Each structure stands twice: as structure tokens, then as C-alpha cells.
Structure 1
Amino acid sequence: MFVNHIQSTPLKGTRLHTLWRSAVSEHGLVDDRLFHLVDDDGRLVNGRRYGPLVRLQATYDRDRDELGVAVPGRGVVTGRADRLGEAVSTRFFDHDVQGRLLHGPWAAALSAYAGRGLHVVRVVRPSFGVDKHPVTLVSAATLDWVRLRLGAPPCIDRRAARMSIEIGGCRPREEETWVGRDLRIGDAVVHIVGLVPRCVVTQQDPATGAHSWNTMRALLDGRPPPPDGTPHKPLLGVHAVVVTPGTVVVGAPVDDPTDPQENPR
């Protein structure tokens, strides 16, 4: 198996960057989801609430500590990312994320673009900006399986899945068998925690945010309901926590670090 694709964004919900390599810290891909957006009431604004966020392209310059956001029709809005304001707590699905409002030029430009009040929040810890666990994985074969279930390839691509790392060289949904195991990716090691419940973002065109496919129905129909009567959820890919920080590079091997056949001495 090998790393097929890497993607991230510093501003949650915006267009993903394709990466050739990325450092991986205990918090996940470095600089991934450092910032998120809230409305005037302090509620999280992501692709689920406002699909056209994917038309925004965010960049973060770590050396300068600057955030830039390319806004359609308004150019690139750039400012210092250390001008921190009031402490805020943002609800991310089933947990609260602590952050600080960011003072700068973004609120006016983003609010005008979206037609609603939008404000940038910087998380107090890097890993706080993700939905649950710091790294997500999916296999290229699983994405092909989803495309076939939808019946019109290539009507969903990796950007709609919004996973950190895509793995090549394995079977459809093979990643689901890795739950509870460690996996070496390049020279980083992650521990696979569980499957990822998916939302309407997987049904949106990743270039425009428009609703385009019935991905959630395809995911639900692709597996039987749980026998124990727990809710039947659309699942795609797996969550992971970082055991050993390192670097992941496209083409790097992916294997079980405890398997002597994969790691001969």
C-alpha cells in the first residue's frame, strides 16, 4: 500500500489544497484546520451550513503568521493571524472547541460574500479544529466503490470526501478492517480509532458547493443496518490519532509497523 493523495486546508470548510508532502504532528497534518468560521450568534459555519465556502481558497504562512483568503470577486484578503480577540467556544457536532476571535480584514469580505455575518476563529490548540480525531484516511478503492454505487463516475472525487490522506493499493473498504490497529504512513505512525460518519458535504460539488449527488443514500445502501439496532449511519473512511509524528509523502509506503513480513529485519 502507498500514499496516493494528501489534502488539507487551514480554514475549515474552504477549498482543499493538494499536497505533495506534509509534516504530521500529534495534532494531525501541520496547519490543517487552524481556523474556522462562526456566524453572528457564534455558531459554526461549515460546508454543511453553507456549501459555497468551497469557493474560498485559504492559505496560511507559518513564518509570517498570516492568513490569506481568496474571495471570488474580491481578491485575496490577507492579515496577521496573531491579532486575537475575545475567547469563544464553538460547538463542533458533539463537542465544544475553544478558540479566539481573529481581528482583521476577513469578516467584512467574507460577510459580503456570504450575505451573512462571518467571523474567523483561531483554535487554541491545532487539533481542536477537526471534527473528531486529527487524521482521516480513505482508500482510493473505496472512493471508486462509491462512484460505482452512484452510477455515474466520476461524479464524486476525493475533494468531496474531504479526507486527510488517501491510500492506494488496497481493496474497497479495506481501511475499515484496520480499526484498533496501528498503521505506518511514511515515517509517521497512526492508530485507527473508528469509522467516519458522513454528512451532506459529501453530496456537494467540491468546486461550487452545490448539491449534486445522493452520496449519503449510496453509503447507507452499501451496508446492512447494525444488528444491535443502533442508528444506521452513512460511513466512509476511518479516523486516526497520531502515535508517532513524522512526514507523509505521496508515494510513501503504508504498512503495519508490527508485521514482520512487511518490516523484515
Structure 2
Amino acid sequence: MSIRVAALWRHPIKSHGRESVDRVTLTEGETMPWDRRWAVAHEVSKADGSKWVACVNFSRGAKAPGLMAVTAKSNEDEGTVTLTHPRHGEITFNPDTQLRGFLNWVRPIMPADRAQSARILRVENRGMTDTDFPSISLLNIASNEALSEQMKMPLSMDRWRGNILLSGLEPWEEKTWIGKTLRIGGATLEVREEITRCLATTANPETGARDADTLDALNKRGHQEFGVYAVVTGTGDVAVGDTVEVS
């Protein structure tokens, strides 16, 4: 069976919604377009929007599991994002200019005992990934199926908030890819490192409630990683259904 792109996902506002796309142009040295384009700094964050900073500066699913249930839809022409939550409805806004409405909408989702969301930041030409380099995250559907079987419950791939979901692999085969080159559609990527997982993955992406101890299950396998980070080394188009070559 050939390795193929099963799905493509981006997250316009870091930790605040996932959005599927059919195709994307990946550019050398950059993140996926409109992926983590914005990030929500909390009230004790040191981020000022001048450069990339670590995820501890932002509101995120590891501390606010309710955020995991948010879905997103972008309008690139208008510069707006529509966020939807199963209990708190929908909001459409421009993250660059319409902060107050967003803060009012997101407040009920945030735990009262955590630092509250305060402002939205964007660093030009740099998605606010969890890595200090512009990364694309790759996930193996077969690894998720193996973990689901281990935990005796179905796990949605949405728990892992990846960019490129791959089918046609053996479970955990991606762990052997560090340092290898992938040809995905018309783009070339180099796999850099595995993705160490956090509490965000314990939350159900439909409800935002923590309902699965994914970290314990991973650690029982002797690691806490799921998926890999890669960097784009050759610009090109990638679409759902494209084949993947590993070298």
C-alpha cells in the first residue's frame, strides 16, 4: 500500500480551532499558510508580537481543555476567522482588529483559575508553532488506531492537532523518519524531531472534556511522542490524496 495524504489541517489561531483544507502550497522555510497565524497571549504573558515565543505564553488546550472543542473557518480575502464551540456558539471576527468581541466570547471557555486571555498576536511570516523553527506536523493514522486499540476506546485524530495526516503506514513507522526526506505531492520536507505530547490530547475534541489519559497510554509504550515535526525544504503544492515518498 502506498503512503498517501489522508487529510490536511490548519489552525488559524493557535489552540483556538481546527480547519480542514483540500490543498495547500508549502513554501520552503515556512509553516503551513494560515496555520497558527495568530496566538492568544494570556494576561501574564511576556509575548509582544516581535518574535516567536514558547507556548507557555499563550492560552492553550493543555491548560484550558474546553478550547479543544473549537472549530474554525477562515476567510482569507476578508482576513476573518469564524470560531464555533458546541456550547458557546459562533463568532466571526478579524483577529488583528476585533479583540474585545473575541475576549467576551472565549471567557466562558477559559478556567477561572487560569491566566485569562488578554490579546492576540501575530508575527509576520511566522506561524506560532510549538517549535522554535517553522514546522509542519505529520501524523500517522495507523499509530492512532494502535493507541485506540491499546486504550480500548476510539481516539479522534483531532486530538493531535496535526497538519498532514498520513495513511498507508505501519503503526509508529513515523518514529523511524528522523533525518529523512519526504516528497509529498510537489513539496519536499525534512523530518526533524518527534512531537512530545501534553495534556491537550487528553481532551475530547467534540466536547472539550478530558476523557482519555493519552499520556499514560503513550508512556506505557515507553515514550510520550506522537507524530513528527518537519521543515519544508522544497516549495510545492500538496493535496489530499497525494502520494508520499520517503528517502
TM over 0.5: yes
Partner residue of 1:111? 107
What secondary structure sits across from 1:147 in the alignment? helix
Of 243, 249, 255 in structure 1, the residue corresponding to residue 239 of structure 2 is 249
Structure 1, unpaired ranges of 5+: 84-101, 224-232, 260-265
TM-score (norm 2): 0.83
Letter in 2 for 1:27: E
Aligned residues between the structures: 228
Note the 1:1-265 alignment, pairs <5 A: 1-25=3-27, 26-42=29-45, 43-70=57-84, 75-83=89-97, 103-114=99-110, 117-132=116-131, 133-152=134-153, 154=154, 156-223=155-222, 233-256=223-246
The change in CA–CA distance for 1:52 and 1:126 in structure 2 (over 3 A counts) is farther
- Cα distance change, pair 48–73 in 1 and its aligned pair in 2 (3 A): closer
What letter matches 1:64 in structure 2?
Answer: E
Q: Give the Cα–Cα distance (whole angstroms) in 1 for the partners of residues 170 and 31 of structure 2.
A: 25
Which deviates the most, 208-217 or 12-21?
A: 12-21
Change in CA separation of 1:112 and 1:51 when aligned onto 2, cut-off 3 Å: closer
Q: What is the alpha-carbon distance in structure 1 between the residues aligned to residue 105 and residue 188 of structure 2?
A: 40
Which position in structure 2 is the counterpart of 1:87? none
TM-score of the two chains, using structure 1 as the length reference: 0.78
* 1:84-110 superposed Cα distances (whole Å, 9 cap, x missing partner): xxxxxxxxxxxxxxxxxx645212222
Structure 2 CA distance for partners of 1:160 and 1:81, relative to 1, 3 Å: closer
Q: CA deviation at 1:61?
A: 2.0
The percent of aligned pairs where both chains have the same amino acid is 23
For 1:33 and 1:203, how far apart are their aligned partners in 2? 21
Q: By percentage of residues, which structure has more strand?
A: 1
Calculate the aligned-residue CA RMSD, in Å. Answer: 2.1
| Counterpart AA for 1:142 | S
**In the alignment, residue 66 of structure 1 is paired with which amino acid?**
T
Whole-angstrom distance in 1 between the partners of 2:108 and 2:217: 36
Larger radius of gyration: 1
**Larger displacement relative to structure 2 (189-198 or 58-67):** 58-67
Q: 1:106·1:119 contact (CA, 8 Å) conserved in 2? A: no
Summarize the Cα distance change of 1:209–1:82 in structure 2 as closer, same or farther, 3 Å threshold.
closer
* C-alpha displacement of 1:76: 3.5
